[in-house]
Each structure stands twice: as C-alpha cells, then as structure tokens.
Amino acid sequence: MKIDLQTVQTRQTAMKTSPPARTAQPAASDEEQRLREKCREFEAILLQKMVEVMQGNTGLFGQGVQGDFFRGMFAEYLAKELAQNPGLGLTESIMRALSERANGRTNEQTNERTN
C-alpha cells in the first residue's frame, strides 16, 4: 500500500484548521440516561412504600426504634433491587409517557407558531 505524503499533509492541515464537529447526539443520550435513572429511582421509591406496607409490623426485625430503622433499610434495599432491570416496567412506562408529553408540547408549540 502506497501512502501519498501530500494527501496526509492536506488532511492534517484540514483537521487542524476546521472546527471540531459538534456532537449533539451524545448530549441527548446523556439527558435520556439521566431521565431514565430518575424514573428508576421513582420506581424504587414506589416499591419501597409498597414493601413497607406489606411488611406491616412483622417481628422479623424486632420492635422499637431499631426494628423500625432496620425494617426501613430492608424495604429500601429490596425496592432498589426490584427496580433494577427489568424491574416492574414502570421505568419504561414513565419514560414513554414523559417523551409523549414532551413531543406533544413541542408539536403544540410548533402549531402555535405557524398559526
């Protein structure tokens, strides 16, 4: 394979003088990733409340302040584990609803501008 020195120099010069390409896509995926994480956290909180109600006053962790403390920690841990992939599917449902709502607002704003 023959390498043309002039072509290499031309490409190097172009790379040095041209501005870097903007990458809007990774920023959007970062934003989507943050939203997905917040939806997952919301699912975990909802599951935690459900687990706490289901546990009631079981004697598993004893009575008193310490029992309440460990019961709450257990409910939080269990809820976070349940919310991980695939979870109950609430994360995806919330993401879908939020994106539909955002797209609806965008479409409404576009229609208002054109009218």
For 71, the domain range is 35-54+61-115
Is the pLDDT confidence value at 3 over 80?
Answer: no
- For 46-102, write each residue's pLDDT tens digit: 888 888 888 776 677 777 888 888 888 888 888 888 887 677 888 889 988 988 888
Q: Is residue 16 part of a domain?
A: no
Q: Which of 85, 86, 90 is closest to 47 using CA atoms?
A: 90
Average pLDDT, the chain: 74
Distance of CA 90 to the CA centre of its chain: 12
List, in sequence order, every beta strand (DSSP E) within 1-115: none
This prediction has a pTM of: 0.55
86: cis peptide before it, omega within 30°?
Answer: yes
Q: Is residue 107 part of a domain?
A: yes
Q: Is residue 72 part of a domain?
A: yes
pLDDT value, residue 99: 84
Number of separate domains in the chain: 1
Say which amino acid occupies 51.
V
8 A C-beta contact, residue 39 and residue 94? yes
Q: Is residue 24 part of a domain?
A: no
